[in-house]
Structure 1
């Protein structure tokens, strides 16, 4: 007989993770489901996830959010990619842009034709073959199809605190109950070890059948109560500190995030409507907290709006994200630095995976095992992509960068790099987040040279290869020309006055 009981979900912690989870459950859980979120105004949130990737559209659209309203409420801006400044060497930059780079021909993806042209000496930099990067570099923005029928995929920069508040209003309007209070104790059932209730400092007891841990680095439920364990990846990603500070607007209103290499780490720059979000990620073995704050404050576009806020972390993940009747989401599940804007996506993907197997009670062991295996796969693939940015550098004579260049790498990353070097081959494993095009851009941008390419690329006469590259570039340039400036487009869009007709 099927168990027809409906869960009473209790979410421990608010912030982006908690309110994204509450909003999703309020929208998709079956009738009769109870959702309660416990948080304390006295406990701050980390709030480093202000940049996103295009998959955020799936989440917002599933909730039925209006895009213009969302941007107004979160003071957001558009994002076409991420610029990596100085990661290979000082004075050079490249972009991991969203969307296609070039176009495939026959059985081969574009990278093999580009590599052939590069070996022959007539390939241009990848940015010349990317619609998103050409638009981003000229500060332009457009949504929808161009006259040539190409979509320009995009994501957002937004204020994570405002996003959480926006989703809180959404969730509470759909029946989510918010309880104010600090968690003093996690009560458990003696026989099963499952969580029975959260006991608050004021004596209130919040019971439930399933608990979702969104308590951030503290991981009060998944680790503090259930002892899930932690996979420490600091041997691969040794940065363990961050300083964050907002500043007044200034400089270019870029439709892209900037990740700028510094002495012992990197600095993020995220332009919003009302301010710029900034932070420095660094390794404390090579840089003191005082030096980090000084470096960050010396490299702002405008006056700081607060004192730099220190954040300490250890890169890695919980050994399991789902244990007993508890699921960890967000920082409670683990942390990887936000150079590729994956923080909010990993919240989103965990929610989506959980909804796909929404349990009645604690969940069947086979389902829990599947969830944890999928989570581990996702996190490990993202980890490898981040490590690539560090290890493939030519910043010789810089102690931190010398260290990360000489690190022992995950075997999975070593295999990918060897496949690329041997013949320009890139494969996407199952449904991992980053596509072949993403890996291609970082391999090329970081200077990881491919010794060869698929010989089928040689079947194209050189004149036709030159024409392929030239025509691709010329078409993209023409598509970008009529696009409005990012600031003009954003202002028009949020006020409903944007003319989205492009004539190119």
Structure 2
């Protein structure tokens, strides 16, 4: 395409990934662009990505979405973190909460002072030093800071992924994206370059473009089937290969956090929305049958199931190249990372952001693709490592699945990070990996991975001053949490309607 004429991009597939891409392109593509999306109502979507991380604010904000309207349209609620119940052992719970934990002094982050205080018998559990977790555990919520001395409380959302896709579809179509209804029957390629030339639909229509975005889910019709891009299988580290999903009526606590509950051969998610609770069981088919998984899930719901359990089969891993020829894979077409840390929607978002930063005027230069793929490889591998840590660091002895993952060989990158932590309580954030040292600290401490030392600079703070630091931090955060309204009341007031919000 000639420079200055805009871009010519066709998105194959709808769902959350497809409409996120279409909405972002509608917002940021230059004038004169031709933006199309093809999807079929006859093909369903996986649609279980209902929990997010705080980076979703960047995407919604870039589109100019009104937050209250977004929450109304998607039946959303607020999320302050993820509670991991039973991952260390039955009856134990910890939270990977958003936001800061504790307060550092000088050059050192809080973890070194907490490790020293624990050695001295002064430290309390991390919940006492996390505003997000204190608020979450007491079902409270706020936005922003009520006063300058208050601590910032980052948050994300739970929402209905299908409603979010529909919301973004309206946004994208209102800004010029043309939607085609139909199923892709054939991917037409150019003879000389091997690029994709057009998509041929089952009724014979031919949709051509310069650049294609593959959002066709696990089928990966473009990047996988047509272009033959290999898939890197990570099931040796993340052996769960099934999920059973079912919605249920509201019940129990309207939690401003996601629950990830360890079960005998996997884990169960619980995501509260305004109109229902989203539930699912992620499990290993080598240790649990589909029928057994459905029984376990249905026996652990807060309300009556409103549909039959829906099985989902997957292999954890990623395409070796997300950008191949003139095609970029997004969402499940790019790979699958189980929803343990709510990264599915974020991986779509970060890929869109990376694409917009190097948006090709035509098919795209190979140098752009190489850069994109290198960044994607790093991002996916570091998220993989974080998920593997949750499984490996368990003490659920005597359960075959958990015994297996506790004794697996770790990726070298994860093993190196664990060595640094054990040696001196040190956590290094490499480049722009998604999870921060605070996130790693919460999981390492929450699952009992012992650090044998800490930075001796922490000893410069006297014992009395250390005790005072912990006490004042805890007291301040507890007072801030007590002053917050209940999550339910806050949500009702904020979105300006009570109809449909649970009692």
**Same fold by TM-score, threshold 0.5 exceeded?**
yes
Distance 2:73 2:337 in 1: 27
Cα drift, residue 156 of structure 1 = 0.2
Q: Residue 156 of structure 1 aligns with which residue?
A: 157
1:186 paired to 2:187: yes
Aligned to 1:293: 294
Secondary structure of the corresponding residue to residue 281 of structure 1: strand
Aligned residues of 1:240 and 1:283 also touching (Cα < 8 A): yes
Contact 2:7/2:30 (8 A) holds in 1: no
Following TM superposition, the consecutive aligned residue runs of length 4 or more in structure 1 with deviations greater than 4 angstroms are none
Secondary structure of residue in 2 paired with 1:237: coil
Quick one: distance in 2 between partners of 1:317 and 1:36?
Answer: 26
8 Å Cα contact 2:424/2:454 also seen in 1 = yes
TM score, norm. by length of structure 2: 0.98
State whether structure 2 residue 96 is matched by structure 1 residue 96. Answer: yes
CA distance in 2, matches of 1:91, 1:247: 24
2:5 counterpart of 1:11? no
Q: 2:12, 2:214 within 8 Å by CA — same for their partners in 1?
A: yes
Cα distance, 1:73 vs structure 2: 0.1
Q: Distance in 2 between matches of 1:184 and 1:119?
A: 64
Q: Which residue does 1:412 correspond to in 2?
A: 413
Distance, in Å, in 2 between the alignment partners of 1:74 and 1:393 is 35
Partner residue in 1 for 2:501? none
* 1:401 aligns to 2:409 (yes or no): no
- How many angstroms apart in 1 are the aligned matches of 2:3 and 2:492? 51
Correspondence 1:309-328 to 2 at 5 A = 309-328=310-329
1:256 and 2:257 aligned: yes
Q: How does 1:245-394 map to 2 (within 5 A)?
A: 245-394=246-395
Q: Does 2:453 align with 1:452?
A: yes
Q: Which residue of the partner structure matches residue 76 of structure 1?
A: 76
How far is 1:48 from its partner? 1.5
Provide the C-alpha distance between the structure 1 equivalents of 2:118 and 2:152, rounded to a whole number of angstroms.
27
Q: 2:42 corresponds to which residue?
A: 42
Moved more, 90-99 or 357-366: 357-366
Per the alignment, in what secondary structure is the counterpart of residue 231 of structure 1? strand
| Contact 2:10 2:211 survives alignment (8 Å) | yes
Distance in 2 separating the partners of 1:47 and 1:94: 27
Shift of 1:149: 3.2
**In the aligned structure 1, how far is the partner of 2:102 from the partner of 2:143?**
19
Q: Using the alignment, how far apart are the partners of 1:141 and 1:439 within structure 2?
A: 24
Q: Report if aligned partners of 1:20, 1:348 keep a CA contact under 8 Å in 2.
A: yes
CA contact (8 A) 1:7 1:208 kept: no
Distance 2:317 2:451 in 1: 30
1:264–1:400 CA contact under 8 A, matched in 2: yes
Report the Cα offset of residue 2 of structure 1: 7.9
Q: Which residue of 2 aligns with 1:85?
A: 85
* Contact 2:87–2:93 (CA under 8 A) maintained in structure 1: yes
Distance (Å, rounded) in 2 between the aligned partners of 1:36 and 1:363: 18
Q: In 2, Cα distance between the equivalents of 1:74 and 1:280?
A: 23
Q: Deviation at 1:340? A: 0.3
Gaps of 5+ in 1: 498-504
| Cα distance change on mapping 1:496 and 1:104 into 2, 3 Å | farther
In structure 2, C-alpha distance between the alignment counterparts of 1:115 and 1:48, rounded to whole Å = 38
Tell me what 1:502 maps to. none
Shift of 1:267: 0.2
Cα distance in 1 for residues equivalent to 2:6 and 2:167: 27
Return the offset for 1:151: 1.3
1:169 maps onto 2:157 in alignment:
no
Match of 1:471, SS state, is: helix
CA contact (8 A) 2:40 2:182 kept: yes
Alignment-derived partner of residue 124 in structure 2: 124
Q: TM-score normalised to the size of structure 1?
A: 0.98
**Which position in structure 1 is the counterpart of 2:492?**
491
Matched, 1:59 2:84: no
Deviations 1:360-403 (A, max 9, x none): 11211221101000000000000000000000000000000000
Q: Distance in 2 between matches of 1:48 and 1:75?
A: 14
Q: Deviations over 1:85-131 (max 9, x none)?
A: 00000000000000000011011000000000011112000000000
Could you tell me whether the CA contact under 8 Å between 1:210 and 1:361 is conserved in 2? yes
Conserved? CA contact 2:7–2:29, under 8 Å: no
Looking at structure 2, the residues matched to 258 and 313 of structure 1 have their Cα atoms a distance apart, in angstroms, of 22
User: What are the Cα deviations for residues 127-168 of structure 1, in whole angstroms up to 9, with x where unaligned?
Assistant: 000000000000000001132232110000000000000000
Cα distance in 1 for partners of 2:30, 2:150 equals: 40
Partner of 1:501: none
Residue segments in structure 2 that go unaligned for 5+ positions in a row: 499-503
Aligned CA-pair RMSD: 1.1
SS in 1 for 2:268: strand
